[in-house]
Structure 1
């Protein structure tokens, strides 16, 4: 991937990642904690996680192209290094989304769930999935923030003036 409408593809594709990772993380956490939410969300949860998972290597690949076309410096290298670490988090979101979806589907099809939707024998598994989902969701969201922050610093560290240029009519 190189350019989209004259812009580096990375600067466009990365917005999918910035939106989808936290959205998937939030959906996973909610569905892992509240089985009824997972039942209502159904197949949408793992599909959302799959789209998120696919978007990460697309952004990374486009970022590698961009990295080869800009001046290399410590900020760019740090951003690239951090970006390489997001795929395992996205993979974790996807795997847990599939497990949470599968557990919710199994609970509704088994017919032996309690009034709250949880079989007593499944409670420890549900708790473990919820805790792991919260950890992965938090880790993925923090990682996206760190990557985005480093990318913004790499792109804008010397690209603007802290004082107005005076030519834009915005001096108050």
Structure 2
């Protein structure tokens, strides 16, 4: 089992995911909705969404190792299922955010000039920005649901 300072790593890593995922989701929504803030949000959003992928995967791996040391219960199984969904959502969120950054923020998009008209098409840009906002909202939702099921599996009697 992965441990940090003698504690199961999952217990420590999950706090980073539970805090950073809603921040990233909110940033994606604001990036999509407020054009004048895109310049300030682009790089932090890109770095945060990229960083959450390995963090989510590592947290889930540590959780699976912790699960093996605990008695099985319906609450733990539910939390593990929600964690599997959160892993997938973090990857999809990153892909959608990367596409929205390329289409919606010109200093990043210029490096992808090979995409030509696809990148500069207003309908494509708007679609990707809407998808980024929806992905951000779902990332917030899934992180809350996963965190709640984890807390319930620990604290419920």
State the TM-score, normalized to the length of structure 1.
Answer: 0.77
RMSD: 2.0
Q: For residues 93-172 of structure 1, what are the structure 2 equivalents within 5 Å?
A: 93-106=93-106, 122-158=121-157
Secondary structure at the aligned position of 1:71 is classed as coil
Answer whether contact 1:31 1:100 (CA < 8 A) is retained.
no
Q: Deviations over 1:40-81 (max 9, x none)?
A: 334222111111111100110000010001111111111111
**Which structure has the greater CA radius of gyration?**
1
Q: Which stretches in structure 2 are left out of the alignment for 5+ residues?
A: 111-119
Give the deviation of 1:106 after TM superposition: 2.8
Partner of 1:87: 87
Answer whether contact 1:39 1:108 (CA < 8 A) is retained.
no
4+ aligned runs moved over 6 Å, structure 1: 107-110
Higher-helix-fraction structure: 2
For residues 150 and 93 of structure 2, what CA distance do their matches in structure 1 show?
23
For structure 1, which segment, 141-150 or 89-98, has the greater mean C-alpha deviation from structure 2 after superposition? 89-98
Secondary structure at the aligned position of 1:43 is classed as helix
Answer whether contact 1:39 1:104 (CA < 8 A) is retained.
no
Partner of 2:4: 4
State the TM-score, normalized to the length of structure 2.
Answer: 0.84
Q: Which stretches in structure 1 are left out of the alignment for 5+ residues?
A: 111-120, 159-172
